[in-house]
Amino acid sequence: MGANRDYERKTRRSKSLYGRALKVFAGGVSHNTRFYEPYPLFVKRARGKFIWDEDGNRYTDYWMGHTALILGHSPKIVVDRLEEQVRHGTLYGMGSSLSIQLAEEVQRSVPCAEMVRFCNSGAEATMYLIRLARAYVGRRTVVKIAGGWHGYNTQLNTAVHAPFAGSESAGILPEEQAHVVSIPFNDVSAAERVLGENEGDTALVFLEPVLGAGGCIPAEKEYLKTLRELTAKHDVLLAFDEIITGFRLALGGAQEYYGLKPDLASLGKIVGGGLPIGVVCGLEEIVSRADPRIRERAKFVSIGGGTFSENPPTMAAGLATLKYLRRNHGKVYSQLKKLGDELRRGVDGAFKEEGIEAHTTGASSLFMTHFAKESPRNAEESQRSNIALQKAYHLALMAGDGIFVLPGHLGAISTEHDAKDIAGFLKGASLFAAGAKRDHVGP
């Protein structure tokens, strides 16, 4: 298959910019996720469902700013508010009624969000969440999921990629991750075992309800329900990392989608309306421990969003987005789910037609195709699928069909996409499947 050759032919300026980028950024990128072989695309502009690269090629975008852009690129309602806001200040360095309104939107929609704190990235939010949980429970151990990605948070940068053990990074001390234990996703007995083994020392079970970077794999409903019961039984907090799923699966995120309320949650991405944000929220009893009026050192949890927290452009963009989603939630989420279902079903069908086993996992507007005999239930199984074929598929969609799915990563549909886009996607999948059959590749 000549996808690499076609890609290089089509993206000459990106190749040359990558050469320049290598001289200023380690590996040519500021976020490792954005690197793929032979070199990443460099984007010149974006609008609606499209991105244009530096060579002027247009792509229908399914990466959508790391899944943050549920309304597409630069939606008018956000741009208008931003234009107005930047004239009135970009950083007040103080709170504003805008930030209260955005927090109220979160409080109103997300079941566990009795109280909220804003920061500027998801990584920060997950770091603060752990601090709150450990302080509130008065114990050390945090249970995470193998393959769970929570940003470049020091403590949680463990067991993200195969072999799902040990630190992901040099420079992190073993003692910094000493009290983090990882368990396979969708495995009730592993959760029971770990909570039993760490009885009296576990503060928190922290997981993405849809494993994102770990393979876009939804939690089984029974699994989450059991985790809720188990954590309650062991007096351990349950927290959802809803940085991808928040305001994406439903207005109330995975909590609404699964009908379950955790004690704490981290949010990000969509809440910022395309600008940087992180949110830690949860039950008042827990989050209120961050109140700076608490004088008792042993009680007070020192977390704060930093210089740029509650910055007015993010607040304005986030507020415009969440208000739109609330006003239109019935239509938005049913349409996203419909398109997602069509895409998942159609892609698997296209590969099946050519005798190639493919399983497109995901929920609502999130999707990822795995080339494997069985649909993966956790990150280990996802990693055992044919990753090289998956990356070739994504590169071929880019090179041949003008469809951008970041190679090796999950895709996200926005409100800008329609049935025609999904039909185009399925056409691209069929073309690739026919080529893969000719080349005798498969899981």
**Among residue numbers 176 through 215, which ones bind ligand PLP (CB under 6 A)?**
208, 212
Tokens of 121: 């990235």
CA distance 326 to 337: 16
Tokens of 191: 């959760």
Residue spans of alpha helices (H) in 50-121: 64-67, 76-87, 97-109
Q: Residue 415, interface with ligand PLP (CB under 6 A)?
A: no
Binder to ligand PLP among 18, 118, 128, 149 (CB under 6 A)? 149
Binder to ligand PLP among 132, 219, 244, 301 (CB under 6 A)? 244
Q: Which range, of 48-56, 117-125, 294-302, 400-408, touches ligand PLP by CB under 6 A?
A: 117-125
Site residue total, ligand PLP (CB under 6 A): 15
Binder to ligand PLP among 11, 14, 109, 121 (CB under 6 A)? 121
Closer residue to ligand PLP, CB minimum distance, 128 or 324: 128
Tokens of 103: 């927090």
| Nearest residue to ligand PLP, by Cβ distance, number only | 122
Q: Which range, of 43-51, 80-88, 149-157, 338-346, touches ligand PLP by CB under 6 A?
A: 149-157
CA distance 154 to 255: 26
Binder to ligand PLP among 241, 263, 310, 348 (CB under 6 A)? 241
SS3 360: strand
Binder to ligand PLP among 184, 252, 268, 428 (CB under 6 A)? 268
Closer residue to ligand PLP, CB minimum distance, 123 or 290: 123
CB of 120 to ligand PLP, least distance (A): 8
Closer residue to ligand PLP, CB minimum distance, 149 or 257: 149
Closest CA to 41 of 49, 26, 56: 56
DSSP 8-state secondary structure symbol assigned to residue 126: H
Binder to ligand PLP among 40, 65, 122, 274 (CB under 6 A)? 122
CA distance 169 to 228: 31
Q: Which residues pair with 360 in a beta bridge?
A: 369
Q: Residue 243, interface with ligand PLP (CB under 6 A)?
A: yes
The letter for the amino acid at 33 is T
Residue 412 to residues 159, 212, 246, 270, 329, Cα–Cα distance (Å): 25, 11, 13, 12, 17
Which residues fall within 8 angstroms of residue 118, CB to CB, at 6 or more apart? 99, 102, 103, 277, 278, 279, 305, 309, 310
SS3 142: strand
Q: Residue 274, interface with ligand PLP (CB under 6 A)?
A: no
Binder to ligand PLP among 106, 113, 119, 123 (CB under 6 A)? 123
The binding track of 41-70 with respect to ligand PLP, each residue x by CB under 6 A or -, is -------------------------x----
Chain-centre distance for alpha carbon 19 = 29
Binding site for ligand PLP (CB under 6 A): 66, 121-123, 126, 149-151, 208, 212, 241, 243-244, 268, 278
